[in-house]
Amino acid sequence: MPQRHSKNNNDLAYFTYDEKKKLGYGTQRERLGKDSIKPFDSCSLCLKPVIDPMSCQKGHIFCKECIFECLLAQKKDIQRKTAAHAMQQKQDKEEEEEKLALQKARELDAFDQQNHGALPQYSDKNYNRDKNGFHGANSVKATLYEEEALRTMKAFWLPSATPEAPSKVEAPSTCTTCPEGSEKLRMKTLFPIYFTEDTTDQKKSTSLDKSYICPSCKVTITNTIALVALSSCGHVFCKKCADKFMAVDKVCLVCNKGCKEKNLVPLEKGGTGFSAHGDNLEAKDFKHLGSGSGLGLVRPAMKT
């Protein structure tokens, strides 16, 4: 029976792709576990269980202290960038005025030299002149050209003449953004949320961590259950109860406070930066067999 050449040919002077792949070369795939996904009751900034949880209109959950510190830091950064942009505009304006003043001064000097005969004129036809009609050694204009060339010369081997790339500061945006969703976010758009804690004796005696339930159907909330928060009162329900009761009755089942359909905010889960909840939970990593693995010369040298 003939053998497959690409799979079983092992008499070559270098490793084939199939042989390297068996040794671990290439893209490695691995299914992510629950430890790689942020729990539903964890802050999106500190990744710890939330303290005084608050949510934005997109459903991202934060600790009250964490999100306030983040927004204040963004405001300080905006003020710093705005001041730097204003300073750069002022410098650009001063440089432009200085260039205009230098240009006017050069025009006046050229006019004065032309009208008062400051430059020597030669009537000898055999005397060498440049293309502008001035002698190189005695020409004031040539000297000015040399000074200008020395002043604007960009030579990387001279520290005083090393060119510098101009740094431009763009005008910053004056709006603070959500650190998780990158949409515009202000403090007044945040609203507190309240999870219903499971207070049964069985849960108290067997679990050290807090567990939460839906106040309507009493189902224990986990990462596999879609959650909805009411921006009007902050109570959190499972999506099934929210769609079945509150979307129809327009009232909260806990505090009987009226709500509208726009007050139903789906809460986001996951989103630790490694993988999002409900997406393709598969990690990919490319591994190369380099010199450290003893397989550095995986291909023969190319002929030149």
Three-state SS string over 213-282 comes to: ECCCCCCECCCCCCEEEECCCCEEEEHHHHHHHHHHHCECCCCCCECCHHHEEECCCECCCCCECCCCCE
Pairing of strands 196-197, 212-213: antiparallel
Per-residue pLDDT of the chain (304 residues; tens, 9 = 90+): 445 555 555 667 777 777 777 777 777 777 766 667 788 888 888 888 899 999 998 889 999 999 999 999 999 999 999 998 899 889 889 989 999 999 998 888 888 888 775 445 444 444 444 444 444 444 455 566 666 676 666 666 767 666 666 777 788 888 899 888 778 888 889 999 999 888 876 655 444 567 889 988 888 888 888 899 998 889 999 988 888 888 788 888 888 888 888 889 998 876 554 445 555 566 677 666 554 444 444 444 444 4
Give the separation between CA 9 and CA 121, rounded to whole angstroms.
88
| Contact of 215 with 254, CB cutoff 8 Å | yes
CATH 3.40.50.300 fits 38-111+172-193, yes or no: no
Give the separation between CA 45 and CA 55, rounded to whole angstroms.
12
- Could you count the other beta carbons within 10 Å of the beta carbon of residue 275? 17
Closest alpha carbon to 180 in 95, 277, 245:
277
Query: Among all chains, which residue has been given the structure tokens 């650190």?
Result: 179
Query: Would you state the structure tokens that stand for residue 159, as one six-digit string?
Result: 């520290």
Q: From the centroid of its chain, how far is CA 184?
A: 15
Helix (H, G, I), strand (E, B) or coil at 258: strand
Give the separation between CA 240 and CA 253, rounded to whole angstroms.
13
pLDDT for the residue 109: 84
Give the domain ranges of the chain.
38-111+172-193
| Beta bridge pairs of residue 283 | 30
Q: H-type helices in the chain, by residue range?
A: 5-8, 17-22, 64-116, 140-152, 201-206, 239-241, 247-249
pLDDT for the residue 130: 47
| Contact of 189 with 54, CB cutoff 8 Å | no
Give the separation between CA 31 and CA 239, rounded to whole angstroms.
27
Single-letter residue type at 292: G
Our CA dihedral for 63, 67, 70, 72, rounded to 10 degrees, sits at -130
Give the separation between CA 39 and CA 59, rounded to whole angstroms.
14
